[in-house]
Amino acid sequence: MPLLNVNNLRVDLPVEAGMLHAVRGIDFHVERGEMLCLVGESGCGKSMTSLALMGLLPRKARLSADRLEFDGTDLTTLSERRRSDLRGARMAMIFQEPMTALNPAYTLGNQLCEGLIRHRGVSRREARERAIYLLGRVGISAAKDRLDQYPHQLSGGLRQRVMIAMALMCEPDLIIADEPTTALDVTIQAQILRLLRELQREFGTAVIFITHDLGVVARIADRVAVMYAGEVIESAPTPALYAAPGHPYTRGLLSCIPTPGRTPPGSRLQAIPGVVPSLVGDVEGCAFRNRCPQAQPTCERTPPLMSLPGDHRARCHYADRPVPAPRQPETMS
């Protein structure tokens, strides 16, 4: 049984113009100890998905799902109280903005320890010992002194390390990391990624890693789910996805990444033209067809989720067969 099983998850947000369908019926699962990457551009619903899993959706948002199970527990029927027993204890979250994710009014020690004290009822001293151990594990020197410091006294990279340590405090089964490296410098990004991967292997924690950067995915993910316009349009083990992407959107994303050695210096990178369709109201047919270089009349119909060899699925009419008459994309310089 997978650790997390999500079936037909929907999140709707009432906005001024109507109902925004931020997540439009997505399916995925996470096995124990694996790292799943959710990839997509801003507004594709990946953050809403993570908040839905944590039970931290905005008050006005509405959630529905055929199945939303964590370790056999149905999350949709769980009371807020029981839900908060899971949060921080068995599923933890790391946020995008380390600069604002910590409370400026309390010391790091205080904020690291409170979750453990709340969930495990340990003494403050025991909690501090674990905090010191974990701060050391995430590569923070002089961990003991850091406990009495305030967030503003730390750099962004250090704060994100603290956030990681905080997520690990109760040894959760699942960590959701929502673009944890986006706000950081490139060199720090690499360090944090490596750290996350190491810790994930060491502690056997399952991780849902959310990113817009397909370049990051290749380095760390076991499996990838690509989201577009509130749907998962392709999911596959990482090597399979890179070897044979089944959805034109994924192919577009991959061609945007310069590969050292293969992309000639000075050559132009690809970009996907067009804009994401509005998610207010219903989306008919394939959501990507207005940007798709090989769109066909068939694409007016909603594409099924096609199964490809090796646990590989793609939501495209032509995922498993050649496109009838490929249209030549115009080039513009």
By CB under 8 A, residue 257 contacts other proteins: yes
Query: Residue 5 or residue 189: which is nearer to other proteins going by CB?
Result: 189
Stretch that binds other proteins, among 199-207, 210-218, 281-289, 310-318 (CB under 8 A): 210-218
Please give the Cα distance from 280 to 233 (Å, whole number). 19
Question: CB 131 → other proteins: shortest distance, Å?
Answer: 13
By CB under 8 A, residue 213 contacts other proteins: yes
CA dihedral 262, 268, 272, 274 (to 10 degrees): 180
What are the beta bridge partners of residue 36? 208, 223
Q: For residue 333, count other CB atoms closer than 10 A to its CB.
A: 3
Q: Kindly tell me which residue out of 105, 261, 322, 325 binds other proteins, with binding defined by CB under 8 A.
A: 105
The first and second tokens of residue 257, run together, are 């990444």
CA-derived radius of gyration, the chain: 21
Applying the rule CB under 8 A, the residues between 294 and 323 that interact with other proteins are none
Backbone angles phi, psi at 37, to 5 degrees: -105, 130
Query: Residue 7 or residue 213: which is nearer to other proteins going by CB?
Result: 213
Query: Residue 144 or residue 219: which is nearer to other proteins going by CB?
Result: 219
By CB under 8 A, residue 73 contacts other proteins: no
By CB under 8 A, residue 103 contacts other proteins: yes
Please give the Cα distance from 88 to 92 (Å, whole number). 5
Please give the Cα distance from 151 to 267 (Å, whole number). 43
Q: Kindly tell me which residue out of 10, 29, 119, 128 binds other proteins, with binding defined by CB under 8 A.
A: 119
By CB under 8 A, residue 251 contacts other proteins: no
Size of the site for other proteins (CB under 8 A): 70
